[in-house]
């Protein structure tokens, strides 16, 4: 199956969402290239970026499930390769 390279940008505004995000990312760990999390304490948000190489449907599903968690926003950018 053809895969796509993408970046999922995640903004977390509620700390209670962390467990749900981590559980979803664990389910797709074999497709994740890398992950970076940056706590922005003065604004009380966390910024997470996920580099992933997976089928487009799987990326869309993951980003959608993350974005449906209360207090979380997620957007995806795809590479042209």
Q: How much of the chain exceeds pLDDT 90, in percent?
A: 95
Q: Which of 28, 19, 17, 40 is nearest to 8 (CA)?
A: 28
Separation between Cα atoms, residue 81 and residue 71, nearest integer Å: 32
Which domains can be identified in the chain, with CATH numbers? 4-78 (3.30.70.1150)
Quickly count: other Cβ atoms within 10 Å of residue 28's Cβ.
Answer: 17
The model's pTM is 0.93
CA-atom Rg of the chain in angstroms: 12
Separation between Cα atoms, residue 21 and residue 48, nearest integer Å: 10
Alpha helix positions (H), 3-81? 18-27, 56-67
pLDDT 10s digits, 43-72? 999 999 999 999 999 999 999 999 999 999
Average per-residue pLDDT for the chain:
96
Residue 81 has pLDDT above 90, yes or no: no
Structural element, H or E, at residue 8: strand 4-12
pLDDT on residue 78: 97
Q: How much of the chain exceeds pLDDT 70, in percent?
A: 100
């Amino acid at each position: 199956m053809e895969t796509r390279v993408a970046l999922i940008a995640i903004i977390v505004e509620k700390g209670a969402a962390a467990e749900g995000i981590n559980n979803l990312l664990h389910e797709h760990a074999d497709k994740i290239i890398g992950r970076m999390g940056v706590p922005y304490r003065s604004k009380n948000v966390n910024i997470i970026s996920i580099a992933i190489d997976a089928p487009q449907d799987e990326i869309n599903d993951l980003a959608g499930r993350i974005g449906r968690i209360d207090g979380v926003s997620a957007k995806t950018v795809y590479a042209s390769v």
